[in-house]
Amino acid sequence: LARRAAALGAWFSVSGIATFKAAEEVRAVIRDMPADRIIVETDCPYLAPVPHRGRRNEPAFLPAVLAGLATVRGWTPQEAEARCEDAFFALFDRIPRP
């Protein structure tokens, strides 16, 4: 389904689920996502990423999601941040870059 969505030009959001021990199937999908169409999100108030699992999710936990994405994709945290920032501004192209 994700491959079909990607072929149609879909964007993908990675949440705290990517950091869960039992979420290998989710991580496999993330590995195949187009790198230029990935953003991160918190899915607040649910599904807080590890190490915050079990707590109310909040935007302050985005660095943990970003770190999980970096690990899954084999990127440095800085590369993951830059790629997601570029993807954000490509998706929301009416928002000017600072």
pLDDT of residue 25: 97
Give the C-alpha separation, 43 to 81, whole Å. 18
pLDDT of residue 64: 97
- Domain 2-91: which CATH number of 3.20.20.140, 3.50.50.100, 3.40.50.300, 3.40.710.10: 3.20.20.140
Q: Tens digits of per-residue pLDDT, 16-74?
A: 999 999 999 999 999 999 999 999 998 889 999 999 999 999 999 999 999 999 999 99
pLDDT of residue 43: 86
Burial of 66 (0-12, 13-18, 19+ CB in 10 A): buried
Give the C-alpha separation, 91 to 94, whole Å. 9
Cβ neighbour number for residue 30 with a 10 Å cutoff:
19
Q: Is the pTM of this model over 0.75?
A: yes
pLDDT of residue 90: 97
Cβ neighbour number for residue 54 with a 10 Å cutoff:
7
